[in-house]
């Protein structure tokens, strides 16, 4: 056993639904490392401001080794950090923080975690690497529901892979602001922002090869919600990926099953991003199998 004790954890609100503590505890055990993973429930700003500040002061004193960040703080934490990875700067959201060489370093493992899992789950249904098609007008379209922290990471990862994307949010200005930000980095892709409404989605559905739910609709304890509007069929020729992982089968996935559309939930992405975060904190690679095994009974 290592003498060094690792203090890991998660900042979020709510966080009761999270599996991260189970995953990282299993990872620590698999590598014979001493440590723990704690949940830090910090309310949305402005109420959570003081608590965030306290936590980062604590981290600077070396009392916390690494943190994950989830809803609603992925962007709120940025101003407390000393250094950002290139990817988190471009996504403008952080989900992993490490205290390294006296410096608070933030990065984002959601984008690569998503792509790694999509590669496995959607193999045979979609061509993931759209950049092989030189004319952007001929590249496939992905529709992303939601314009929050996770949607930013998903949009970024798909644009890097050459996709054209449409972002649909119930607050149109949120989708537009994300589109404008992405347009600055990805001049060769077609990026659109639309209202997440019945009429609009009916109109765009025909041209969609990949539909991603990056909203929190359907997530515990609101498992009866579906971000896809009621009474509208899903895009007929697409793969559906729901980032929500608790419950394991969401309302959107059930709709996809009924309409015979291949689909996957967010548990694989959760595992993939955890593998990458653990590597940043410890320099060690934990196998997906170890992590899946740790949550087998609750999935």
- Residues identified as active-site: 74
Q: Is 95 helix (H, G, I), strand (E, B) or coil?
A: coil
User: By the 8 A CB rule, do 6 and 35 touch?
Assistant: yes
Q: How far is the CB of 294 from ligand NAP (least distance, A)?
A: 15
Q: Which residue among 52, 269, 286, 291 contacts ligand NAP (CB under 6 A)? A: 269
Alpha-carbon span 164 to 161, nearest angstrom: 9
Distance of CA 28 to the CA centre of its chain: 22
Q: How far is the CB of 244 from ligand NAP (least distance, A)?
A: 5
Cα–Cα nearest to 12, from 62, 75, 65: 75
For residues 107-138, b (16+ Cβ closer than 10 Å) or e, as one string?
Answer: bbbbbbbbbbbbeebbeebbebebeeeeebee
Q: Which of residues 122-161 bind ligand NAP (CB under 6 A)?
A: 146-151
Region of 260 (left: φ > 0; alpha: ψ -120 to 50; beta: rest) is left
Q: Considering the rule CB under 6 A, would residue 106 count as an interface residue with ligand NAP?
A: no
Q: Considering the rule CB under 6 A, would residue 228 count as an interface residue with ligand NAP?
A: no
Q: Which of residues 191-210 bind ligand NAP (CB under 6 A)?
A: 196
**Which of 39, 225 has the CB closer to ligand NAP?**
225
Cα–Cα nearest to 42, from 72, 18, 75: 72
Q: How far is the CB of 293 from ligand NAP (least distance, A)?
A: 18
Q: Which residue among 266, 277, 291, 295 contacts ligand NAP (CB under 6 A)? A: 266
User: By the 8 A CB rule, do 30 and 60 touch?
Assistant: no
Give the x-and-dash track for 50-79 against ligand NAP (CB under 6 A).
Answer: --------------------xxx-x-----
**Which of 143, 196 has the CB closer to ligand NAP?**
196
- The kind and range of the H/E element at 7 are strand 5-12
**Which of 59, 243 has the CB closer to ligand NAP?**
243
Q: State the number of binding residues for ligand NAP (CB under 6 A).
A: 31
**Which of 87, 214 has the CB closer to ligand NAP?**
214
Alpha-carbon span 273 to 118, nearest angstrom: 12
Q: Considering the rule CB under 6 A, would residue 244 count as an interface residue with ligand NAP?
A: yes
Tally Cβ neighbours within 10 Å of residue 230. Answer: 7
Q: How far is the CB of 44 from ligand NAP (least distance, A)?
A: 9
Q: Considering the rule CB under 6 A, would residue 15 count as an interface residue with ligand NAP?
A: no
- 149-160 vs 172-185: helix axis angle to the nearest 10? 40
Give the binding site for ligand NAP (CB under 6 A). Answer: 70-72, 74, 110, 113, 146-151, 169-171, 174, 196, 214-217, 219, 225, 227, 243-245, 266, 269-270, 273
């Amino acid at each position: 056993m290592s003498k060094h004790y690792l203090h890991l954890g998660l900042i979020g609100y709510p966080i009761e639904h999270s599996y991260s503590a189970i995953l990282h505890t299993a990872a620590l055990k698999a590598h014979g490392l001493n440590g723990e993973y704690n949940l830090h429930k910090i309310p949305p700003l402005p109420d959570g401001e003081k608590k965030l500040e306290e936590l980062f002061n604590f981290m600077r004193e070396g009392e916390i080794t690494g943190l994950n960040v989830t809803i609603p703080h992925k962007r709120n934490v940025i101003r407390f950090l000393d250094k950002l990875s290139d990817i988190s700067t471009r996504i403008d959201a952080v989900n992993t923080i490490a205290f390294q060489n006296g410096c608070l370093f933030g990065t984002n493992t959601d984008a690569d975690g998503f792509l790694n899992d999509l590669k496995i789950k959607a193999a045979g249904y979609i061509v993931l690497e759209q950049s092989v098609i030189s004319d952007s007008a001929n590249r496939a379209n992905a529709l992303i529901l939601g314009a929050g922290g996770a949607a930013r990471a998903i949009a970024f990862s798909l644009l890097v892979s050459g996709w054209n994307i449409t972002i649909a949010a119930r607050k149109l200005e949120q989708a537009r602001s994300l589109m404008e930000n992405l347009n600055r980095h990805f001049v060769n892709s077609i990026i659109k922002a639309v209202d997440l409404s019945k009429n609009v989605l009916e109109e765009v559905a025909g041209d969609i090869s990949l539909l991603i739910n990056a909203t929190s609709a359907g997530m515990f304890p609101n498992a009866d919600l579906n971000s896809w509007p009621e009474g509208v069929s899903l895009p007929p020729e697409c793969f559906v990926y729901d980032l929500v992982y608790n419950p394991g089968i969401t309302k959107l996935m059930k709709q996809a099953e009924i309409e015979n559309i291949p689909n996957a939930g967010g548990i694989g992405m959760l595992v993939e991003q955890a593998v990458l975060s653990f590597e940043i904190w410890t320099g060690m690679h934990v196998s997906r199998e170890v992590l899946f095994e740790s949550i087998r009974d609750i999935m």
